[in-house]
Amino acid sequence: MEFHAAGLSDDEIISEAVKIVKEAEKKGVILRILGALAIRIHSRDLVNLHKNLRRLGDLDRSFTDIDLIGYSSQRAGIRQLMEKDLSFKISSQFLLLHGKDRLIYYHPQNIYHVDIFFDQLYFSHTLPFGKKGKGRLELDNPTIPVTDLLLEKLQIHQINEKDIKDVIVLLRGHELGENDNDTINLKYLSNLLGDDWGFWMDAVENLRKTIKYAESYAAQSLITKEDLDDVVDKCLRLIDYLEKCPKTKNWEKRAKTGTKEKYWRDVEELYR
């Protein structure tokens, strides 16, 4: 069964996500917003661009649910918050099968659902966030850092158009730099992707795809020439940086095998 934030506007579902993060904070629990919702929050000046791209096709709204991430060391506190304090519902079957790695909650009135991940995103590739006290979730609030938002999209092996649109908005709204202060952190990209050839491959390919889609959207007048030039420039700079960044022995060893062996994980939708 799946719920799609029926009747909620983009601003309303953003407000719901931020409320959960703030309620968690009151309890000393760290939760951060992932995905397109987080990109919208981080790109407030580009709301019209995000909406013009119509990331969900014909739907007037841009978002269907809420994705959050926390630390596994706080799992008990997260469950207390969601189930007792906020009265969200969870399937006992799902909890039994998948509760160690992920929680899926349903709004008390079944208006939307909330996905909660722990410590890492484990999809086509692994995006780690570390442990409480020295992890990446403390670097930003109420979302994960901008760099991780970009990596969340670039790790997708079979990236779809809505994710490409998110990449365009994120790149348009942020500069490339060497810190996590509302900036795409090149040093962190280098450290992570320079050690993981498969992730590196998909990231570079997805940046190339972003250029092609951006050119198509500009031809359709969905984005301006200024938008196009900015996004293409950043994609090219990122590709050049990733090609030249230092590579570890792990990266080099896997690169020798190349595409002869599968270098990504297949991601199946979990039952909801």
Query: Smallest Cα–Cα separation from 87: which of 61, 69, 110, 70?
Result: 110
pLDDT in tens, 20-63: 999 999 999 999 999 999 999 999 899 999 989 988 765 667 78
pLDDT in tens, 130-144: 999 999 999 999 999
Taking all residues of the chain, what is their mean pLDDT, rounded to a whole number?
Answer: 93
How far is 222 from 109, CA to CA, in rounded Å?
36
Residue 1, pLDDT > 50, answer no
Delimit the domains of the chain by residue range. Answer: 10-260
Query: Smallest Cα–Cα separation from 214: which of 236, 187, 192, 195?
Result: 236
pLDDT in tens, 207-216: 999 999 999 9
Q: Find the helix packing angle between 186-193 and 225-244, rounded to 10°.
A: 50
pLDDT in tens, 55-106: 876 566 778 899 999 999 999 999 999 999 999 999 888 888 887 889 999 9
Full-model pTM: 0.94
